[in-house]
Amino acid sequence: MQAMQKQFSFPKEKMKVLLLEGIHQACVEKLVQAGYRPELVKGALSEAELCEVIPSVHLLGIRSKTQVTDKALSKAKSLLAVGCFCIGTDQVDLASAARHGVPVFNAPFSNTRSVAELTLAEVVMLARRAAHKSQLLHRGVWEKSAEGCVEVRNTSIGIVGYGHIGPQVGLLAEAFGMKVFYYDILGKLPLGNATPVTSLEELLRQSDFVTLHVPETPETRNMIGAAQIEAMRPGAFLLNLSRGRVVDLDALKRGLESGKVAGAAIDVFPEEPKTNDEAFACPLMGMDNVILTPHIGGSTIEAQRNIGLEVGGTMLKFTETGSTTGAVNFPQVELPMVRDCHRILNIHKNVPGVLSSINSIIAGVGANIRAQTLSTLGEVGYLIVDIDKEISDTLRVAIDELDTSIKTRILF
Ligand code: NAI
């Protein structure tokens, strides 16, 4: 990293790094050690607040609350990259970010196990009606009774979405002696003794516990509504630790009130407070058989630290070498840093002829290309060129002036 620092073109101390939503100290320390001076904001910013500050920001770190919209991105003249210090990236307009030449990084695996652990803990809490009994005891009511309380051993759990978290839930559930089914739109290799099923309806029909681990997409929005609740086993339980809009909470409330659904554990909501100071409201509040948690599935010290290091690391690597490995909206390009060499990074519109135009500009100043790599994704192309001749900023300007260029940087 030390060698890279000497090669860096834009002074680190002038680079504005804005970290919102209480990003972990491990990331802050990593950035400070690398020579940056991150500015920290505890909560999320509204769109208007973000639009005001974003023009001077080079690196933006957010978690799940700050919405990085097309409007904000169109004002982000200096922005190099956005780091989502979480798993989901639907809070960022990814297509707009790509069009503006801004890769978006996330941490897809850092909190997988944390979510899986809470899911299984809640399965047991629901089966034993322990959350309700705890609430009663806080109010001085001693309700020692086995009525309606069951072991989870020999029950079945249906996992919707078998990506990163789903299989971990399955493994932990098996350790409790549960029979595991899963449904995914993609063919997925089962872990342990899990059994794939071919439709959501089939999964709902045979599961005592249904747990959701899908992303929010147009297809998963309200994927559990009145019809799916009707298809569940009488007295089954529903858990949602994925994204709030995957469940129609009004339909779930009706299912709970009728007794069709015996209980639910909900960690994510269609509308969530932006900070801990804002009030929370949802239709399930006050229901005895519902465990509500404030989107804490992935909120462990281990996960936050892992996320901080992982996303902080990918953002630093992009800033200092141009590598976009792990970006969710961008061509993946990785080229080892070579000493005594200048590196041009050009983000451009993905149209024919870009490479030859850039190479003729480089040839025009008599520079020799040492290494070159180009990758494209959708409307965007990303080129890294290492050249071994002294080059001036004039070359960067000439390449940047091409109609096809979105952003051009030089590292040296
Ligand atoms: P992933 O992307 O690894 O897995 C998602 C799986 O869902 C994929 O296998 C995908 O093929 C499948 N899928 C997509 N659409 C589907 C559909 N219509 N029907 C069935 N399967 C479908 O995601 P990962 O890491 O397992 O996370 C799952 C969810 O958990 C995400 O929504 C994420 O935002 C959320 N999450 C929540 C946290 C919390 O604090 N509560 C923390 C971490 C993640």
**Positions of E strands within 245-399:** 261-266, 290-292, 342-349, 369-377, 380-387
Q: Is the pLDDT of residue 283 over 80?
A: yes
Q: Is the pLDDT of residue 7 over 90?
A: no
Rounded Cα distance, 359 and 155, in Å: 64
- Hey, CA dihedral for 377, 330, 386, 393, is it positive or negative? positive
Q: Is the pLDDT of residue 124 over 60?
A: yes
Ligand 1 center to 379 CA (angstroms): 26
Ligand 1 pocket, Cβ-based, cut-off 6 angstroms:
87-88, 108, 111-112, 115, 160-166, 183-186, 213-217, 219-220, 241-243, 267-268, 295, 297-298
What is the mean predicted confidence (pLDDT) over 117-143?
97
Atom of ligand 1 nearest to the CA of 166: 26
Q: Using DSSP, state whether 127 is helix, strand or coil.
A: helix
Q: Is the pLDDT of residue 6 over 60?
A: no
Mean per-residue pLDDT of the chain = 94
CB atoms within 10 A of CB 12: 16
Sheet holding 17-19, edge to edge: 39-40, 17-19, 59-62, 81-84, 104-105
Atom of ligand 1 nearest to the CA of 118: 41
- pLDDT bracket for residue 304 (50, 70, 90): confident
* Diameter over CA atoms, the chain: 85
Of the two residues 356 and 1, the one the predictor is more confident about is 356
Lowest-confidence pick of 18-22, 83-87, 234-238 = 83-87
Of the two residues 13 and 263, the one the predictor is more confident about is 263
Rounded Cα distance, 295 and 356, in Å: 49
User: What's residue 392's pLDDT?
Assistant: 67
Q: Ligand 1 pocket check: which of 200, 214, 220 to mutate, most ligand atoms within 8 Å of Cβ?
A: 214
Cα distances from 310 to residues 99, 287, 300, in angstroms, run 25, 39, 15
Q: Is 285 exposed, middle or buried (0-12, 13-18, 19+ CB in 10 A)?
A: exposed
Q: Indicate if 243 belongs to the active site.
A: yes
Q: Indicate if 295 belongs to the active site.
A: yes
Atom of ligand 1 nearest to the CA of 188: 9
Q: Ligand 1 pocket check: which of 110, 111, 115, 222 to mutate, most ligand atoms within 8 Å of Cβ?
A: 115
- pLDDT bracket for residue 281 (50, 70, 90): very high
User: What's residue 331's pLDDT?
Assistant: 96
What is the mean predicted confidence (pLDDT) over 279-283?
97
Q: Is the pLDDT of residue 5 over 60?
A: no
| Residue with CA at minimum distance from ligand 1 atom 9 | 163
CA-based nearest residue to 349, from 68, 124, 98: 98
Task: Tell me the sheet residues that pair with 313.
Answer: none
Ligand 1 center to 226 CA (angstroms): 22
CA-based nearest residue to 330, from 401, 397, 407, 410: 407
Ligand 1 center to 163 CA (angstroms): 6
| Residue with CA at minimum distance from ligand 1 atom 39 | 297
Question: What is the per-residue burial (b if ≥16 Cβ within 10 Å, else e) of 162-200?
Answer: bbbbbbbbbbbbbebebbbbbbbeeebeebeebebbeeb
Q: Is the pLDDT of residue 245 over 90?
A: yes
Quick one: how far is CA 63 from the chain centroid?
8
What is the mean predicted confidence (pLDDT) over 145-165?
97
What is the mean predicted confidence (pLDDT) over 211-228?
97
Q: Indicate if 39 belongs to the active site.
A: no
Ligand 1 center to 164 CA (angstroms): 7
Tens digits of residue pLDDT in 42-64: 999 999 999 999 999 999 999 98
Rounded Cα distance, 289 and 193, in Å: 30
* Tokens found for residue 44: 């999320």
Rounded Cα distance, 50 and 54, in Å: 6
Atom of ligand 1 nearest to the CA of 267: 41
Tens digits of residue pLDDT in 366-407: 888 889 999 999 999 999 999 877 776 788 889 999 999 999
- pLDDT bracket for residue 2 (50, 70, 90): very low
DSSP strand pairing (369-377 vs 156-160) = unpaired
